[in-house]
Amino acid sequence: MIELAQGTTIINAEVEMVFKYVSNMENYKTWFPGVEEIRSFNELAHGTQGKQYQEILNLNGEQGQLIIEVKQCKPNELFLTRGDLPGILPQMTIRFLATQDNACEMNLQYHGRASELAQNKNLQEMLQQDLHSRTQQGLARLKQLMESQAALINSTNKIARLFE
């Protein structure tokens, strides 16, 4: 496998909340740049091994379509998908770790599994540059989304306690 990009962020939200949001791949387009559409492709529950999604993405100005399948899923720890995009065969691996201060450390990695990718250095470099930038933007966007949601939940809980 060829590493295409990776990034890590600390999200000030509970790991369960972040995992639940991220493991529903229909949310992917809300936080990862270049994903134009993504929808369930089978009837399995989100975060279930074998769950499939159809994704339409913009890759360097070109529109691509692929099927993504959840290959491994350990709630609040690991979410791994593989796609069937020819020439790349992408794999996304996300690791989640609950921190001592009740936040979530999230590590996102993208790899290419296609043998022809190993022989095409120009394509490798183009993908690495493109995905590095989008990974950083996506993690920042996800952090903002999750922290806003967590703050809203905390505010709602505080107000509810006032009326108890």
Beta bridge partners of 68: 53, 83
**pLDDT tens profile 11-61:** 999 999 999 999 999 999 999 999 999 999 999 999 999 999 999 998 777
Is this structure's pTM higher than 0.85? yes
**pLDDT tens profile 82-117:** 999 998 999 999 999 999 888 999 999 999 999 999
Q: What is the mean pLDDT of residues 144-161?
A: 73
Pairwise CA distance, residues 127 & 129, whole Å: 6
**pLDDT tens profile 23-33:** 999 999 999 99
Per-residue pLDDT band for 7 (boundaries 50, 70, 90) equals: very high
Domains located in the chain, CATH noted: 2-32+72-158 (3.30.530.20)
Query: In this model, does residue 69 exceed pLDDT 70?
Result: yes
Which residues, in sequence order, are CB contacts of 34 under 8 Å at separation 6+?
57, 58, 59, 134
